[in-house]
Homo-oligomer: A and B are copies of this chain.
Amino acid sequence: MTVTLADVAARAGVSSATVSRVLNGNYPVADGTRTRVLRAVDELQYVVNGPASALAAATSDLVGILVNDVADPFFGIVASAVQSEMGGEGATGTGQKLAVVCNTGGSPERELTYLTLLRRQRAAAVVLTGSAVEETAHSTALADRLRHLAASGTRIVLCGRPPLAPRDGTGEEPALAQDGIVTLAFDNRGGSHRLTAHLLTLGHRRIGYVTGPAERSTTRHRLEGHRRALGEQAPEALAEAERLTVHGGAYDRSAGYDGALELLRRAPDLTAVLAANDTVALGVCAALRDRGLRIPEDVSVGGFDDLPFAADASPALTTVRLPLHEAGARAGRLALGLETPPPGDVATVRADLMVRASTAPPAPR
């Protein structure tokens, strides 16, 4: 029923090994036979049997990309960037990687499940993107599984999340990993610090903050940058930072909307609100508007990530730009072994402040 290597071989008058060789292009083959084989492949509409070749070669051409939420453009951009590097040579089956994105929904269990499924497929590489869940049981289970995978030949790249904790469990975020797992971390702390500093410099002192889910690394890092800036430039504001912080249940619009309302309840006189990311910021803006507050005249708003819509919002959103496409592409190349890993296998990706119309000096009282 289905065409096999042997069929092609027979048709081309060569052995199946030869066919395999021209298809994979790993060994020298005479030009004449090569064209003959390719013609046979074409005539028979032959398609390699992936499982069979994966079994024999003990490795497949599957590359997994784990994301927390496919419906979030943040991940869409990163994923598409990773995939853009997998184009492949175009030859009949040569090097063509099948880059697939797996949606964990932010659930640690699904994350582990996907890892198992990818391991089962003998994936060539796995790229994990976005914030990690900071819960000891899960982090160690995850680190464990990733190290196993790495040991069994699957390349692992962490993009937009902190490095794995070292096996011995001492300290956090070691400067260098020792297991071949490459990390591209975003400078969330730095970016957040710059954003808050910008607000403080404008003269704001009562700054609300709607964070992301409490257990995620990104949430913590951005909050740390924020608090550090407060501590440095406005110690008095730091005192009530706790009261002006609301933890959102997700990185979504409604977290921003609800969070902003809660902040307004706690401190009707706040002059600025920072959000966990741009999507949350949009929710914040909606809530402020619904309360009759103008942006930025009455309240300034700041986001994070600089997703495409941030510049188009009205007013255009002041935010922190993360080079998502660039980072994703680099992660893709690292996953394919096309780029040499950074020293110590950990690199930090910059996060630049983008000042736009949603922030302005606070109104004189």
CA distance A103 to B2 in the complex (A): 27
Which residues of chain B have C-beta atoms less than 8 A from A105's C-beta? 80
Contact A121 B98 (CB under 8 A): yes
Contact A76 B80 (CB under 8 A): no
CA distance A312 to B284 in the complex (A): 10
- Nearest CB of B to A44, in Å: 13
The yes or no answer to A233 lying at the interface (CB within 8 A) is no
Mark each residue of chain A from 48 to 59: 1 if its CB lies under 8 Å from any CB of chain B, else 0: 111111110000
Mark each residue of chain A from 120 to 142: 1 if its CB lies under 8 Å from any CB of chain B, else 0: 11100000000000000000000
Q: Pick the contact of A71 from B55, B73, B98, B119 — CB < 8 Å?
A: B73
Q: Pick the contact of A70 from B79, B286, B312 — CB < 8 Å?
A: B79
Question: Known: A50-B122, A120-B49, A286-B312. Is A71-B76 also a contact (CB below 8 A)?
Answer: yes
Question: Known: A80-B71, A101-B101. Is A253-B51 also a contact (CB below 8 A)?
Answer: no
Contact B47 A282 (CB under 8 A): no
- Nearest CB of B to A320, in Å: 19
Question: Known: A49-B122, A73-B73, A282-B309. Is A113-B101 also a contact (CB below 8 A)?
Answer: no
Contact B50 A121 (CB under 8 A): yes
Contact A103 B79 (CB under 8 A): yes
Which residues of chain B have C-beta atoms less than 8 A from A318's C-beta? none
Contact A47 B286 (CB under 8 A): no
Contact A77 B83 (CB under 8 A): no
For residues 277 through 302 of chain A, which have their beta carbon under 8 Å from a beta carbon of chain B? 282-283, 285-286, 289
The yes or no answer to A94 lying at the interface (CB within 8 A) is no
Question: Known: A77-B71, A253-B312. Is A50-B47 also a contact (CB below 8 A)?
Answer: no
Which partner residue on chain B sits nearest A286 by CB separation? B312
CA distance A312 to B1 in the complex (A): 54
The yes or no answer to A102 lying at the interface (CB within 8 A) is yes
Which residues of chain B have C-beta atoms less than 8 A from A96's C-beta? 113, 117
Question: Known: A72-B76, A76-B70, A80-B70. Is A51-B117 also a contact (CB below 8 A)?
Answer: no
CA distance A289 to B312 in the complex (A): 10
Q: Pick the contact of A102 from B51, B100, B286 — CB < 8 Å?
A: B100
Contact A80 B73 (CB under 8 A): no
Q: Pick the contact of A101 from B50, B70, B289 — CB < 8 Å?
A: B70
Question: Known: A55-B52, A101-B101, A103-B79. Is A309-B253 also a contact (CB below 8 A)?
Answer: yes
The yes or no answer to A183 lying at the interface (CB within 8 A) is no
Which residues of chain B have C-beta atoms less than 8 A from A118's C-beta? 98
Which residues of chain B have C-beta atoms less than 8 A from A253's C-beta? 308-309, 312
Mark each residue of chain A from 70 to 95: 1 if its CB lies under 8 Å from any CB of chain B, else 0: 11110111011001000000000100
The yes or no answer to A188 lying at the interface (CB within 8 A) is no
Given contacts A51-B52, A309-B309, 16 further A-B contacts (CB under 8 A): A48-B120, A49-B55, A49-B120, A50-B117, A51-B54, A51-B55, A51-B121, A70-B76, A72-B76, A73-B76, A93-B120, A98-B117, A98-B121, A101-B101, A253-B308, A283-B312
